[in-house]
């Protein structure tokens, strides 16, 4: 291995290490939660105070809990409770989907674009 190789290895290691700091750091925190019911926007609230939102869906009522900086689905009808077990959502782009009740909670940040595109 030449000295150039050693330097390349060193620089790459530093670059990889700093990518953890840059991409896993505090950036990308969400500041707004949007609740969708059956494809239409039911509520869009800032993540600033404690409150809860109740959304009616075809299977019953889903309760969304908002806290400063985070949100979660506290309870929702549905056999598997996937959206409840998703836990707290805090980063822009995070989402919880309660499919049986057709309720979706997404977290938006300032630099948000899409959550997914299917084609």
In the complex, the residues that contact another protein under the rule CB under 8 A are 1-5, 7-9, 12-13, 15-16, 19-20, 23-24, 28, 91-94, 109, 111-117
Q: Are 78 and 60 in contact (CB under 8 A)?
A: no
Min dist. Cβ of residue 92 to another protein (A): 6
Q: Is 101 helix (H, G, I), strand (E, B) or coil?
A: coil
Q: Are 90 and 72 in contact (CB under 8 A)?
A: no
Nearer to another protein, 3 or 68 (CB): 3
Sign of CA dihedral 73, 79, 85, 86: negative
Min dist. Cβ of residue 6 to another protein (A): 8
In angstroms, how far apart are the furthest CA atoms of the chain?
67
Min dist. Cβ of residue 3 to another protein (A): 7
Nearer to another protein, 77 or 109 (CB): 109
Nearer to another protein, 23 or 79 (CB): 23
Cα Rg for the chain, rounded, in angstroms? 19
Nearer to another protein, 4 or 50 (CB): 4
């Amino acid at each position: 291995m030449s000295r150039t190789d050693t330097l390349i290895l060193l620089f790459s290691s530093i670059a990889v290490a700093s990518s953890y700091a840059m991409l896993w750091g505090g950036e990308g925190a969400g500041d707004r939660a949007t609740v969708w019911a059956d494809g239409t926007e039911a509520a869009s609230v800032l993540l600033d105070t404690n409150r809860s939102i109740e959304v009616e869906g075809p299977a019953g009522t889903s309760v969304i809990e908002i806290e400063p900086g985070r949100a979660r689905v506290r309870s929702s009808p549905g056999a598997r409770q996937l959206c409840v077990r998703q836990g707290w959502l805090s980063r822009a782009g995070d989402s919880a989907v309660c499919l049986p009740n057709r309720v979706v909670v997404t977290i938006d940040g300032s630099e948000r674009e899409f959550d997914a595109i299917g084609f």
